[in-house]
Structure 1
Amino acid sequence: MGWLLIRGWALLVYIFMFLPVAVVVMLSFNASQFGSFPMTGFSFHWFVELANNDAILRAFETSILLGSLTALVSTMLGVLASLALIRYRVPGSNLISTILIAPILVPEVVLAVALLLFLNALSLNKSFLLLLMGHVIFTMPFVILVVQARLVGIRRDYEEAAISLGAHPIQAFFQITLPLLAPAVFAGMLFAFTISFDDITGTLFWKPGGVETVPTQIFAMLRNSISPEINALGTVMIFLTVGLPLLGMAVARRMALQRGS
Protein backbone atom coordinates (compact mmCIF):
# COMPACT_ATOMS: atom_id res chain seq x y z
CA MET A 1 0.00 0.00 0.00
CA GLY A 2 2.89 2.35 0.82
CA TRP A 3 4.55 1.89 -2.58
CA LEU A 4 1.17 2.28 -4.29
CA LEU A 5 0.65 5.65 -2.58
CA ILE A 6 4.16 6.78 -3.51
CA ARG A 7 3.62 5.84 -7.15
CA GLY A 8 0.24 7.57 -7.20
CA TRP A 9 1.73 10.73 -5.69
CA ALA A 10 4.63 10.65 -8.18
CA LEU A 11 2.12 10.32 -11.04
CA LEU A 12 0.19 13.36 -9.77
CA VAL A 13 3.42 15.37 -9.56
CA TYR A 14 4.31 14.46 -13.14
CA ILE A 15 0.82 15.40 -14.32
CA PHE A 16 1.06 18.74 -12.50
CA MET A 17 4.47 19.43 -14.10
CA PHE A 18 3.79 18.39 -17.68
CA LEU A 19 0.07 19.06 -18.19
CA PRO A 20 0.64 22.80 -18.90
CA VAL A 21 3.28 21.83 -21.47
CA ALA A 22 0.85 19.43 -23.12
CA VAL A 23 -1.82 22.15 -23.21
CA VAL A 24 0.56 24.57 -24.97
CA VAL A 25 1.43 21.92 -27.58
CA MET A 26 -2.24 21.11 -28.18
CA LEU A 27 -3.30 24.76 -28.51
CA SER A 28 -0.50 25.41 -31.01
CA PHE A 29 -2.46 23.21 -33.46
CA ASN A 30 -5.82 24.85 -32.70
CA ALA A 31 -7.47 26.39 -35.75
CA SER A 32 -9.05 29.13 -33.63
CA GLN A 33 -7.12 32.19 -32.49
CA PHE A 34 -8.66 31.82 -29.03
CA GLY A 35 -6.89 29.43 -26.68
CA SER A 36 -9.85 27.49 -25.38
CA PHE A 37 -11.27 23.99 -25.32
CA PRO A 38 -12.81 22.22 -27.09
CA MET A 39 -10.55 22.90 -30.07
CA THR A 40 -12.34 24.07 -33.21
CA GLY A 41 -10.06 22.14 -35.56
CA PHE A 42 -6.54 20.94 -36.32
CA SER A 43 -4.33 23.36 -38.24
CA PHE A 44 -0.69 24.31 -38.90
CA HIS A 45 -1.75 27.92 -39.53
CA TRP A 46 0.08 29.37 -36.52
CA PHE A 47 3.33 27.64 -37.46
CA VAL A 48 3.05 29.23 -40.91
CA GLU A 49 2.46 32.61 -39.27
CA LEU A 50 5.45 31.93 -37.05
CA ALA A 51 7.67 31.23 -40.06
CA ASN A 52 6.59 34.54 -41.63
CA ASN A 53 7.30 36.62 -38.51
CA ASP A 54 10.56 38.51 -39.13
CA ALA A 55 11.08 39.37 -35.45
CA ILE A 56 10.85 35.72 -34.40
CA LEU A 57 13.14 34.61 -37.24
CA ARG A 58 15.75 37.17 -36.14
CA ALA A 59 15.41 35.94 -32.58
CA PHE A 60 15.97 32.35 -33.77
CA GLU A 61 19.08 33.38 -35.68
CA THR A 62 20.43 35.19 -32.62
CA SER A 63 19.68 32.26 -30.30
CA ILE A 64 21.28 29.72 -32.64
CA LEU A 65 24.38 31.88 -33.10
CA LEU A 66 24.64 32.62 -29.38
CA GLY A 67 24.05 28.98 -28.42
CA SER A 68 26.60 27.68 -30.94
CA LEU A 69 29.32 30.12 -29.83
CA THR A 70 28.54 29.42 -26.18
CA ALA A 71 28.76 25.66 -26.75
CA LEU A 72 32.06 26.01 -28.62
CA VAL A 73 33.76 28.29 -26.07
CA SER A 74 32.36 26.48 -23.02
CA THR A 75 33.44 23.10 -24.37
CA MET A 76 36.98 24.25 -25.18
CA LEU A 77 37.48 25.89 -21.78
CA GLY A 78 35.70 23.06 -19.94
CA VAL A 79 37.87 20.35 -21.52
CA LEU A 80 41.08 22.26 -20.79
CA ALA A 81 40.03 22.93 -17.19
CA SER A 82 39.05 19.29 -16.66
CA LEU A 83 42.37 18.06 -18.03
CA ALA A 84 44.31 20.44 -15.80
CA LEU A 85 42.40 19.48 -12.66
CA ILE A 86 42.30 15.71 -13.25
CA ARG A 87 45.54 14.92 -15.06
CA TYR A 88 47.94 17.33 -13.36
CA ARG A 89 48.75 18.49 -9.85
CA VAL A 90 47.52 22.05 -9.70
CA PRO A 91 48.04 24.01 -6.46
CA GLY A 92 44.65 24.78 -4.93
CA SER A 93 42.82 22.45 -7.32
CA ASN A 94 39.93 21.97 -4.88
CA LEU A 95 39.43 25.72 -4.59
CA ILE A 96 39.66 26.14 -8.37
CA SER A 97 37.09 23.38 -8.89
CA THR A 98 34.74 25.03 -6.43
CA ILE A 99 35.08 28.38 -8.19
CA LEU A 100 34.45 26.83 -11.60
CA ILE A 101 31.36 24.96 -10.40
CA ALA A 102 30.03 27.87 -8.31
CA PRO A 103 27.89 29.46 -11.09
CA ILE A 104 25.44 26.53 -11.02
CA LEU A 105 25.23 26.73 -7.22
CA VAL A 106 24.36 30.44 -7.18
CA PRO A 107 20.82 31.47 -8.24
CA GLU A 108 20.98 32.71 -11.81
CA VAL A 109 19.30 36.02 -11.04
CA VAL A 110 21.98 36.74 -8.41
CA LEU A 111 24.72 35.85 -10.90
CA ALA A 112 23.08 38.02 -13.58
CA VAL A 113 22.83 41.06 -11.29
CA ALA A 114 26.37 40.58 -9.99
CA LEU A 115 27.85 40.43 -13.50
CA LEU A 116 25.79 43.45 -14.58
CA LEU A 117 27.03 45.48 -11.60
CA PHE A 118 30.59 44.37 -12.33
CA LEU A 119 30.29 45.57 -15.93
CA ASN A 120 28.86 48.90 -14.75
CA ALA A 121 31.78 49.29 -12.35
CA LEU A 122 34.15 48.80 -15.30
CA SER A 123 32.12 51.29 -17.37
CA LEU A 124 31.49 48.64 -20.04
CA ASN A 125 28.36 48.88 -22.15
CA LYS A 126 26.22 45.89 -22.93
CA SER A 127 27.22 44.05 -26.09
CA PHE A 128 26.82 40.68 -27.78
CA LEU A 129 30.32 39.72 -26.64
CA LEU A 130 29.48 40.39 -22.99
CA LEU A 131 26.22 38.42 -23.42
CA LEU A 132 28.30 35.54 -24.78
CA MET A 133 30.68 35.77 -21.82
CA GLY A 134 27.76 35.60 -19.40
CA HIS A 135 26.39 32.48 -21.07
CA VAL A 136 29.84 30.86 -21.06
CA ILE A 137 30.20 31.51 -17.33
CA PHE A 138 26.83 29.88 -16.69
CA THR A 139 27.20 26.86 -19.01
CA MET A 140 30.86 25.93 -18.56
CA PRO A 141 30.31 24.18 -15.17
CA PHE A 142 27.96 21.69 -16.84
CA VAL A 143 30.63 20.85 -19.41
CA ILE A 144 33.26 20.46 -16.68
CA LEU A 145 31.08 18.09 -14.66
CA VAL A 146 30.31 15.88 -17.66
CA VAL A 147 33.90 15.79 -18.97
CA GLN A 148 35.45 15.21 -15.54
CA ALA A 149 33.11 12.27 -14.87
CA ARG A 150 34.31 10.67 -18.10
CA LEU A 151 37.97 11.63 -17.69
CA VAL A 152 38.21 9.98 -14.27
CA GLY A 153 37.32 6.65 -15.86
CA ILE A 154 40.01 6.91 -18.56
CA ARG A 155 43.24 5.34 -17.37
CA ARG A 156 46.35 7.41 -17.90
CA ASP A 157 48.22 4.27 -18.95
CA TYR A 158 46.97 4.71 -22.51
CA GLU A 159 48.53 8.16 -22.80
CA GLU A 160 51.77 7.06 -21.13
CA ALA A 161 52.01 4.07 -23.46
CA ALA A 162 51.63 6.32 -26.49
CA ILE A 163 54.25 8.74 -25.17
CA SER A 164 56.65 5.89 -24.41
CA LEU A 165 56.31 4.78 -28.03
CA GLY A 166 57.43 8.20 -29.24
CA ALA A 167 54.23 10.20 -29.44
CA HIS A 168 54.27 13.86 -28.38
CA PRO A 169 51.95 14.66 -25.42
CA ILE A 170 49.79 16.82 -27.69
CA GLN A 171 49.68 14.03 -30.27
CA ALA A 172 48.74 11.54 -27.56
CA PHE A 173 45.92 13.82 -26.45
CA PHE A 174 44.38 14.18 -29.90
CA GLN A 175 44.84 10.54 -30.90
CA ILE A 176 44.20 8.77 -27.58
CA THR A 177 42.53 10.94 -24.94
CA LEU A 178 40.21 13.05 -27.07
CA PRO A 179 38.61 10.10 -28.95
CA LEU A 180 37.94 8.43 -25.59
CA LEU A 181 36.50 11.71 -24.28
CA ALA A 182 34.42 12.33 -27.41
CA PRO A 183 31.05 11.12 -26.00
CA ALA A 184 31.37 13.36 -22.92
CA VAL A 185 32.60 16.31 -24.99
CA PHE A 186 29.69 15.95 -27.40
CA ALA A 187 27.18 15.62 -24.56
CA GLY A 188 28.62 18.64 -22.74
CA MET A 189 28.49 20.70 -25.93
CA LEU A 190 24.81 19.86 -26.45
CA PHE A 191 24.02 20.66 -22.82
CA ALA A 192 25.75 24.04 -23.16
CA PHE A 193 23.87 24.83 -26.39
CA THR A 194 20.50 23.83 -24.93
CA ILE A 195 20.99 25.80 -21.71
CA SER A 196 22.13 28.89 -23.62
CA PHE A 197 19.30 28.60 -26.16
CA ASP A 198 16.70 28.30 -23.39
CA ASP A 199 18.08 30.92 -20.98
CA ILE A 200 16.03 34.01 -20.22
CA THR A 201 16.97 35.28 -16.75
CA GLY A 202 20.59 36.12 -17.48
CA THR A 203 19.83 37.18 -21.06
CA LEU A 204 17.35 39.82 -19.89
CA PHE A 205 20.09 41.42 -17.77
CA TRP A 206 22.99 41.05 -20.22
CA LYS A 207 21.57 41.58 -23.71
CA PRO A 208 22.15 44.91 -25.45
CA GLY A 209 19.29 46.95 -26.82
CA GLY A 210 17.80 45.65 -30.05
CA VAL A 211 19.06 42.09 -29.53
CA GLU A 212 16.38 39.52 -28.80
CA THR A 213 16.69 35.77 -28.30
CA VAL A 214 13.76 33.38 -28.60
CA PRO A 215 12.97 33.32 -24.82
CA THR A 216 13.14 37.12 -24.53
CA GLN A 217 11.03 37.46 -27.68
CA ILE A 218 8.38 35.20 -26.11
CA PHE A 219 8.51 37.31 -22.94
CA ALA A 220 8.07 40.52 -24.96
CA MET A 221 5.11 39.02 -26.86
CA LEU A 222 3.44 37.94 -23.62
CA ARG A 223 3.62 41.51 -22.28
CA ASN A 224 1.35 42.71 -25.10
CA SER A 225 -1.13 39.88 -25.60
CA ILE A 226 -1.35 36.10 -25.71
CA SER A 227 -1.12 35.35 -29.42
CA PRO A 228 -1.57 31.81 -30.80
CA GLU A 229 1.89 32.24 -32.34
CA ILE A 230 3.28 32.04 -28.81
CA ASN A 231 1.87 28.54 -28.46
CA ALA A 232 3.48 27.51 -31.75
CA LEU A 233 6.78 29.08 -30.73
CA GLY A 234 6.57 27.37 -27.35
CA THR A 235 6.03 24.02 -29.08
CA VAL A 236 9.12 24.54 -31.23
CA MET A 237 11.13 25.47 -28.12
CA ILE A 238 9.89 22.38 -26.27
CA PHE A 239 10.92 20.04 -29.08
CA LEU A 240 14.33 21.70 -29.38
CA THR A 241 15.17 21.82 -25.69
CA VAL A 242 13.94 18.27 -25.06
CA GLY A 243 14.97 16.67 -28.33
CA LEU A 244 18.55 17.92 -28.45
CA PRO A 245 19.62 16.47 -25.06
CA LEU A 246 17.91 13.17 -25.86
CA LEU A 247 19.64 13.07 -29.23
CA GLY A 248 22.93 13.94 -27.57
CA MET A 249 22.53 11.18 -25.01
CA ALA A 250 21.74 8.65 -27.73
CA VAL A 251 24.71 9.68 -29.87
CA ALA A 252 27.06 9.80 -26.87
CA ARG A 253 25.95 6.32 -25.78
CA ARG A 254 26.43 4.97 -29.29
CA MET A 255 29.89 6.54 -29.50
CA ALA A 256 30.81 5.07 -26.10
CA LEU A 257 29.65 1.61 -27.20
CA GLN A 258 31.65 1.84 -30.41
CA ARG A 259 34.76 2.89 -28.46
CA GLY A 260 34.22 0.07 -25.99
CA SER A 261 33.91 -2.55 -28.70
Structure 2
Amino acid sequence: MRAWTLIRFYTVFVYIFMFAPIAVVLILAFNKAEFASFPMTGFSLRWFERLFNDPTIMRAFRTSLTLGLMVSAISTTLGVMASIALVRYEFRGKDLMTTFLISPVLVPETVMAVGLLIFLRYLHMPRSFGLLLLGHSILALPFVVLVVQARLVGIKREYEEAARSLGANPLQTFFSVTLPLLLPAVFAGALFAFTISFDNITATLFWRPSGMETVPTQIFGMLRNSISPEINALGFVMISVTAGVPLLAGGLARYFGRKNRARHPTRSLT
Protein backbone atom coordinates (compact mmCIF):
# COMPACT_ATOMS: atom_id res chain seq x y z
CA MET A 1 0.00 0.00 0.00
CA ARG A 2 2.83 2.37 0.85
CA ALA A 3 4.47 1.69 -2.53
CA TRP A 4 1.25 2.49 -4.41
CA THR A 5 0.86 5.69 -2.39
CA LEU A 6 4.37 6.76 -3.38
CA ILE A 7 3.64 5.94 -7.02
CA ARG A 8 0.47 8.03 -6.95
CA PHE A 9 2.28 10.91 -5.29
CA TYR A 10 5.10 10.74 -7.85
CA THR A 11 2.60 10.64 -10.74
CA VAL A 12 0.76 13.69 -9.44
CA PHE A 13 4.07 15.51 -8.94
CA VAL A 14 5.17 14.76 -12.53
CA TYR A 15 1.88 16.05 -13.95
CA ILE A 16 2.10 19.21 -11.87
CA PHE A 17 5.71 19.74 -12.98
CA MET A 18 4.70 19.31 -16.63
CA PHE A 19 1.55 21.42 -16.71
CA ALA A 20 2.27 24.15 -14.14
CA PRO A 21 4.16 26.35 -16.65
CA ILE A 22 1.26 26.03 -19.10
CA ALA A 23 -1.19 26.99 -16.39
CA VAL A 24 0.91 30.07 -15.56
CA VAL A 25 0.82 31.22 -19.19
CA LEU A 26 -2.93 30.70 -19.38
CA ILE A 27 -3.54 32.70 -16.20
CA LEU A 28 -1.13 35.56 -16.97
CA ALA A 29 -2.74 36.05 -20.39
CA PHE A 30 -5.60 37.75 -18.48
CA ASN A 31 -3.40 39.78 -16.14
CA LYS A 32 -4.17 43.49 -16.15
CA ALA A 33 -0.61 44.52 -15.17
CA GLU A 34 2.09 45.35 -17.68
CA PHE A 35 4.52 42.91 -16.06
CA ALA A 36 3.87 39.26 -15.24
CA SER A 37 3.58 38.83 -11.51
CA PHE A 38 1.57 37.11 -8.80
CA PRO A 39 -0.84 37.91 -7.34
CA MET A 40 -2.58 39.35 -10.38
CA THR A 41 -3.60 42.99 -10.13
CA GLY A 42 -6.81 42.47 -12.07
CA PHE A 43 -8.58 40.75 -14.93
CA SER A 44 -8.29 42.22 -18.44
CA LEU A 45 -8.65 41.23 -22.09
CA ARG A 46 -6.59 44.12 -23.42
CA TRP A 47 -3.64 41.92 -24.34
CA PHE A 48 -5.89 39.84 -26.60
CA GLU A 49 -7.24 43.04 -28.13
CA ARG A 50 -3.72 44.29 -28.78
CA LEU A 51 -2.76 40.88 -30.10
CA PHE A 52 -5.55 40.75 -32.68
CA ASN A 53 -4.84 44.33 -33.73
CA ASP A 54 -1.19 43.55 -34.44
CA PRO A 55 -0.84 43.05 -38.24
CA THR A 56 2.43 41.11 -37.88
CA ILE A 57 0.92 38.54 -35.53
CA MET A 58 -2.24 38.27 -37.60
CA ARG A 59 -0.17 37.66 -40.73
CA ALA A 60 1.75 34.90 -38.92
CA PHE A 61 -1.53 33.39 -37.73
CA ARG A 62 -2.95 33.36 -41.28
CA THR A 63 0.25 31.74 -42.55
CA SER A 64 0.09 29.00 -39.90
CA LEU A 65 -3.60 28.43 -40.55
CA THR A 66 -3.17 28.19 -44.33
CA LEU A 67 -0.12 25.96 -43.98
CA GLY A 68 -1.84 23.69 -41.47
CA LEU A 69 -4.93 23.23 -43.64
CA MET A 70 -2.88 22.46 -46.74
CA VAL A 71 -0.63 20.03 -44.85
CA SER A 72 -3.72 18.35 -43.40
CA ALA A 73 -5.27 17.88 -46.85
CA ILE A 74 -2.07 16.58 -48.49
CA SER A 75 -0.91 14.26 -45.71
CA THR A 76 -4.41 12.86 -45.14
CA THR A 77 -4.93 12.08 -48.83
CA LEU A 78 -1.52 10.41 -49.15
CA GLY A 79 -1.89 8.68 -45.79
CA VAL A 80 -5.24 7.10 -46.68
CA MET A 81 -3.94 5.85 -50.04
CA ALA A 82 -0.76 4.49 -48.47
CA SER A 83 -2.67 2.77 -45.65
CA ILE A 84 -5.04 1.02 -48.09
CA ALA A 85 -2.08 -0.17 -50.17
CA LEU A 86 -0.20 -1.47 -47.13
CA VAL A 87 -3.18 -3.17 -45.44
CA ARG A 88 -5.22 -4.48 -48.37
CA TYR A 89 -2.51 -5.52 -50.86
CA GLU A 90 0.59 -7.67 -50.92
CA PHE A 91 3.57 -6.50 -52.97
CA ARG A 92 7.32 -6.74 -53.00
CA GLY A 93 9.02 -4.26 -50.68
CA LYS A 94 5.96 -3.78 -48.49
CA ASP A 95 7.94 -3.85 -45.23
CA LEU A 96 10.50 -1.45 -46.66
CA MET A 97 7.74 0.93 -47.73
CA THR A 98 6.19 0.80 -44.26
CA THR A 99 9.53 1.62 -42.66
CA PHE A 100 10.06 4.45 -45.13
CA LEU A 101 6.68 6.02 -44.35
CA ILE A 102 7.18 5.76 -40.59
CA SER A 103 10.83 6.89 -40.61
CA PRO A 104 10.10 10.62 -40.05
CA VAL A 105 8.87 9.68 -36.58
CA LEU A 106 12.14 7.86 -35.84
CA VAL A 107 14.54 10.49 -37.20
CA PRO A 108 15.22 13.55 -34.99
CA GLU A 109 13.39 16.56 -36.36
CA THR A 110 16.52 18.71 -36.52
CA VAL A 111 18.36 16.07 -38.53
CA MET A 112 15.48 15.80 -41.00
CA ALA A 113 15.20 19.58 -41.27
CA VAL A 114 18.89 20.02 -42.02
CA GLY A 115 18.96 17.03 -44.37
CA LEU A 116 16.03 18.21 -46.47
CA LEU A 117 17.44 21.75 -46.58
CA ILE A 118 20.87 20.51 -47.76
CA PHE A 119 19.27 18.24 -50.36
CA LEU A 120 17.21 21.06 -51.84
CA ARG A 121 20.19 23.40 -51.74
CA TYR A 122 22.02 20.76 -53.79
CA LEU A 123 19.15 21.01 -56.30
CA HIS A 124 19.52 24.83 -56.20
CA MET A 125 16.03 25.28 -54.73
CA PRO A 126 15.70 28.21 -52.31
CA ARG A 127 13.71 28.17 -49.11
CA SER A 128 10.07 28.85 -49.89
CA PHE A 129 6.52 28.23 -48.78
CA GLY A 130 6.53 25.12 -51.00
CA LEU A 131 9.51 23.73 -49.08
CA LEU A 132 7.71 24.45 -45.81
CA LEU A 133 4.59 22.68 -47.10
CA LEU A 134 6.61 19.67 -48.28
CA GLY A 135 8.53 19.37 -45.02
CA HIS A 136 5.48 19.65 -42.78
CA SER A 137 3.62 17.10 -44.93
CA ILE A 138 6.51 14.66 -44.50
CA LEU A 139 6.43 15.16 -40.73
CA ALA A 140 2.65 14.70 -40.49
CA LEU A 141 2.27 11.78 -42.91
CA PRO A 142 3.44 8.99 -40.51
CA PHE A 143 0.84 9.96 -37.91
CA VAL A 144 -1.95 9.83 -40.47
CA VAL A 145 -0.74 6.44 -41.72
CA LEU A 146 -0.60 5.01 -38.20
CA VAL A 147 -4.09 6.24 -37.28
CA VAL A 148 -5.75 5.13 -40.54
CA GLN A 149 -3.96 1.77 -40.58
CA ALA A 150 -5.12 0.99 -37.06
CA ARG A 151 -8.73 1.60 -38.13
CA LEU A 152 -8.43 -0.17 -41.48
CA VAL A 153 -7.10 -3.37 -39.92
CA GLY A 154 -10.33 -3.65 -37.94
CA ILE A 155 -12.56 -3.32 -41.02
CA LYS A 156 -13.41 -6.75 -42.40
CA ARG A 157 -12.82 -7.33 -46.08
CA GLU A 158 -16.20 -9.05 -46.34
CA TYR A 159 -17.91 -5.66 -46.50
CA GLU A 160 -15.88 -4.60 -49.52
CA GLU A 161 -16.20 -8.03 -51.15
CA ALA A 162 -19.98 -7.88 -50.72
CA ALA A 163 -20.10 -4.53 -52.51
CA ARG A 164 -17.91 -5.88 -55.31
CA SER A 165 -20.11 -8.95 -55.68
CA LEU A 166 -23.12 -6.65 -56.13
CA GLY A 167 -21.48 -4.94 -59.09
CA ALA A 168 -19.61 -2.01 -57.53
CA ASN A 169 -16.24 -1.17 -59.02
CA PRO A 170 -13.22 -0.51 -56.76
CA LEU A 171 -13.80 3.26 -56.71
CA GLN A 172 -17.47 2.89 -55.83
CA THR A 173 -16.59 0.36 -53.15
CA PHE A 174 -14.11 2.77 -51.60
CA PHE A 175 -16.48 5.74 -51.46
CA SER A 176 -19.58 3.73 -50.49
CA VAL A 177 -18.12 1.23 -48.03
CA THR A 178 -14.48 1.76 -47.05
CA LEU A 179 -14.41 5.53 -46.64
CA PRO A 180 -17.53 5.77 -44.43
CA LEU A 181 -16.04 3.14 -42.13
CA LEU A 182 -12.68 4.94 -42.16
CA LEU A 183 -14.15 8.38 -41.58
CA PRO A 184 -13.38 8.61 -37.83
CA ALA A 185 -9.72 7.78 -38.45
CA VAL A 186 -9.55 10.11 -41.46
CA PHE A 187 -10.86 13.04 -39.42
CA ALA A 188 -8.58 12.22 -36.53
CA GLY A 189 -5.54 11.93 -38.80
CA ALA A 190 -6.37 15.21 -40.55
CA LEU A 191 -6.71 17.10 -37.28
CA PHE A 192 -3.51 15.60 -35.89
CA ALA A 193 -1.69 16.61 -39.09
CA PHE A 194 -3.00 20.16 -38.71
CA THR A 195 -1.80 20.30 -35.11
CA ILE A 196 1.65 18.97 -35.98
CA SER A 197 2.05 21.64 -38.65
CA PHE A 198 0.50 24.49 -36.66
CA ASP A 199 2.79 24.24 -33.62
CA ASN A 200 6.01 23.15 -35.33
CA ILE A 201 8.99 25.43 -34.76
CA THR A 202 12.22 23.41 -35.03
CA ALA A 203 11.90 22.43 -38.68
CA THR A 204 10.08 25.64 -39.60
CA LEU A 205 13.11 27.71 -38.61
CA PHE A 206 15.15 25.83 -41.23
CA TRP A 207 12.57 25.75 -44.02
CA ARG A 208 10.74 29.07 -43.92
CA PRO A 209 11.76 31.77 -46.42
CA SER A 210 13.09 35.10 -45.22
CA GLY A 211 10.32 37.41 -44.04
CA MET A 212 7.75 34.66 -43.50
CA GLU A 213 6.68 33.95 -39.94
CA THR A 214 4.39 31.34 -38.45
CA VAL A 215 2.89 31.67 -34.99
CA PRO A 216 5.60 29.59 -33.23
CA THR A 217 8.46 31.45 -34.97
CA GLN A 218 6.73 34.75 -34.20
CA ILE A 219 6.62 33.84 -30.50
CA PHE A 220 10.28 32.81 -30.68
CA GLY A 221 11.21 36.14 -32.25
CA MET A 222 9.22 38.09 -29.66
CA LEU A 223 10.94 36.24 -26.80
CA ARG A 224 14.37 37.21 -28.12
CA ASN A 225 13.53 40.90 -27.77
CA SER A 226 11.53 41.09 -24.55
CA ILE A 227 8.84 39.28 -22.56
CA SER A 228 5.67 41.13 -23.47
CA PRO A 229 2.21 40.36 -22.04
CA GLU A 230 1.13 39.82 -25.65
CA ILE A 231 3.27 36.67 -25.66
CA ASN A 232 1.10 35.21 -22.89
CA ALA A 233 -2.04 35.99 -24.89
CA LEU A 234 -0.50 34.49 -28.03
CA GLY A 235 0.59 31.46 -26.01
CA PHE A 236 -2.99 31.09 -24.76
CA VAL A 237 -4.24 31.01 -28.35
CA MET A 238 -1.56 28.48 -29.36
CA ILE A 239 -2.31 26.19 -26.41
CA SER A 240 -6.04 26.42 -27.10
CA VAL A 241 -5.53 25.38 -30.73
CA THR A 242 -2.96 22.63 -30.16
CA ALA A 243 -4.89 21.13 -27.23
CA GLY A 244 -8.37 21.74 -28.60
CA VAL A 245 -7.81 20.22 -32.04
CA PRO A 246 -6.77 16.74 -30.75
CA LEU A 247 -9.71 16.81 -28.33
CA LEU A 248 -11.95 17.72 -31.26
CA ALA A 249 -10.42 14.83 -33.22
CA GLY A 250 -11.26 12.39 -30.44
CA GLY A 251 -14.77 13.76 -30.12
CA LEU A 252 -15.40 13.53 -33.86
CA ALA A 253 -14.02 10.00 -33.94
CA ARG A 254 -16.42 8.90 -31.21
CA TYR A 255 -19.32 10.76 -32.85
CA PHE A 256 -18.81 9.16 -36.25
CA GLY A 257 -18.22 5.80 -34.59
CA ARG A 258 -21.56 5.97 -32.75
CA LYS A 259 -23.30 7.28 -35.87
CA ASN A 260 -21.90 4.44 -37.95
CA ARG A 261 -22.94 1.82 -35.39
CA ALA A 262 -26.42 3.32 -35.22
CA ARG A 263 -26.71 3.24 -39.01
CA HIS A 264 -25.37 -0.33 -39.29
CA PRO A 265 -26.20 -2.06 -35.98
CA THR A 266 -25.53 -5.54 -37.35
CA ARG A 267 -21.88 -4.72 -37.95
CA SER A 268 -21.22 -4.40 -34.23
CA LEU A 269 -22.42 -7.99 -33.83
CA THR A 270 -20.18 -9.51 -36.49
- The answer, yes or no, to whether TM exceeds 0.5 is yes
Matches within 5 A, 1:10-49: 10-49=11-50
Matched, 1:113 2:117: no
Q: What is the rounded CA distance, in whole Å, between the counterparts of 2:25 and 2:34 in structure 1?
A: 13
Aligned to 2:177: 176
| Paired AA for residue 129 in structure 1 | G
Instruction: Note the alpha carbon deviations across 1:156-192, whole angstroms, 9 max, x for none.
Output: 1111111111111110000000000000000000000
| Paired AA for residue 136 in structure 1 | S
Q: What is the rounded CA distance, in whole Å, between the counterparts of 1:257 and 1:94 in structure 2?
A: 34
Aligned to 1:189: 190
Aligned to 1:91: 92
| Paired AA for residue 116 in structure 1 | L
Aligned to 1:138: 139
Instruction: Note the alpha carbon deviations across 1:8-47, whole angstroms, 9 max, x for none.
Output: 0000000100000011111111101101111111100100
**TM-score normalised according to structure 2 size:** 0.96
Q: What is the rounded CA distance, in whole Å, between the counterparts of 2:158 and 2:10 in structure 1?
A: 49
What is the SS of the residue equivalent to 1:220?
helix
Instruction: Note the alpha carbon deviations across 1:69-90, whole angstroms, 9 max, x for none.
Output: 0000000000000011111112
Aligned to 1:250: 251
Q: What is the rounded CA distance, in whole Å, between the counterparts of 2:257 and 2:106 in structure 1?
A: 29
Aligned to 2:78: 77
Aligned to 1:66: 67
Aligned to 1:207: 208
| Paired AA for residue 138 in structure 2 | I
Any unmatched runs of 5+ in structure 2?
263-270
* Over 4 Å off, 4+ runs: none
Matched, 1:55 2:56: yes
Instruction: Note the alpha carbon deviations across 1:209-236, whole angstroms, 9 max, x for none.
Output: 1110000000010111000000000001
Q: What is the rounded CA distance, in whole Å, between the counterparts of 1:186 and 1:178 in structure 2?
A: 11
Q: What is the rounded CA distance, in whole Å, between the counterparts of 1:102 and 1:45 in structure 2?
A: 45
Deviation at 1:106, TM superposition (A): 0.8
Q: What is the rounded CA distance, in whole Å, between the counterparts of 1:255 and 1:25 in structure 2?
A: 32
Deviation at 1:248, TM superposition (A): 1.1
Aligned to 2:152: 151
Q: What is the rounded CA distance, in whole Å, between the counterparts of 1:147 and 1:179 in structure 2?
A: 12
Q: What is the rounded CA distance, in whole Å, between the counterparts of 1:81 and 1:46 in structure 2?
A: 45
Any unmatched runs of 5+ in structure 1?
none
Q: What is the rounded CA distance, in whole Å, between the counterparts of 1:60 and 1:219 in structure 2?
A: 14
Q: What is the rounded CA distance, in whole Å, between the counterparts of 1:86 and 1:255 in structure 2?
A: 22
Q: What is the rounded CA distance, in whole Å, between the counterparts of 2:49 and 2:117 in structure 1?
A: 38
What is the SS of the residue equivalent to 2:4?
helix
**TM-score normalised according to structure 1 size:** 0.99
What is the SS of the residue equivalent to 2:44?
coil
Deviation at 1:258, TM superposition (A): 1.4
Deviation at 1:122, TM superposition (A): 0.9
The number of residues matched between the two structures is: 261
Q: What is the rounded CA distance, in whole Å, between the counterparts of 2:248 and 2:191 in structure 1?
A: 9
* RMSD after superposition: 0.6
What is the SS of the residue equivalent to 1:126?
coil
Aligned to 2:242: 241
| Paired AA for residue 25 in structure 2 | V
